[in-house]
Amino acid sequence: AQTVTQSQPEMSVQEAETVTLSCTYDTSESDYYLFWYKQPPSRQMILVIRQEAYKQQNATENRFSVNFQKAAKSFSLKISDSQLGDAAMYFCAYRPNSNSGYALNFGKGTSLLVTP
Amino acid sequence: DSGVTQTPKHLITATGQRVTLRCSPRSGDLSVYWYQQSLDQGLQFLIQYYNGEERAKGNILERFSAQQFPDLHSELNLSSLELGDSALYFCASSVLAHGDTQYFGPGTRLTVL
């Protein structure tokens, strides 16, 4: 079974600063996808960024980027120039790319507080 | 707005009752997933349908069932409800059964009293 671990229940960052959220996962698969989802107080699950395991290049989406270390099974999210609207719960998710199923396995989440 | 719609937004019911949650996927998406988010269990996968057929099953209780209709909307039926079933239920959709991103609906908040 695959497990996803987010070791930081809460993080805090000042506006305009940079913060990194950690995620590790355990799998025996070689082909998979990794995601970061954001859940603001509205409870909507919003996709932040996605990484294919076969791609060595780290994914970036505007102020959001990842550090994907396949050998270490690590997938951290970096938020640059943090904004008040970035305050939310962030979930790391893993999904295998095999016929064993395509469900997302989520970590417990990291609550990000952004202070002015 | 992800394009995935869920109704109702909130549902309050009593133990022992049965409820139906509805999901309409994004236009063009064939696959629907149901997830449960609770304080103690976190986000858990329940079940996936692809083009009307059950594709994968997760931690779904026997009291729960789902189906996907020819117009691709999906319903999650929860019966003999218990207090512990109180949770946020998400539907997500994707184009195919594999290989792409799942987009989530706004969720249905179920409260069992």
CA distance B81 to chain A (A): 23
**pLDDT tens for each residue of B59-108:** 899 999 999 999 999 999 999 999 999 999 999 999 876 657 899 999 99
Q: If you ran DSSP here, which 8-state letter would residue B62 be given?
A: T
Subunit contact A103:B58, Cβ cutoff 8 A: yes
Q: Measured in whole angstroms, how far is the alpha carbon of residue A17 from the centre of its chain?
A: 18
| Closest-CA residue to B105 (of A46, A86, A90, A107) | A46
> Is residue A42 within 8 Å of A19, Cβ to Cβ?
no
**pLDDT tens for each residue of A13-72:** 999 999 999 999 999 888 899 999 999 999 999 999 999 999 889 999 999 999 999 999
Subunit contact B99:A97, Cβ cutoff 8 A: yes
């184009």: which residue's tokens?
Answer: B95
């960052």: which residue's tokens?
Answer: A13
A 20-39: CB under 8 A from B: 35, 37
Residue A100 has pLDDT above 80, yes or no: no
Distances (CA, A) of A100 to A2, A22, B59, B97: 12, 26, 15, 11
Subunit contact B90:A45, Cβ cutoff 8 A: yes
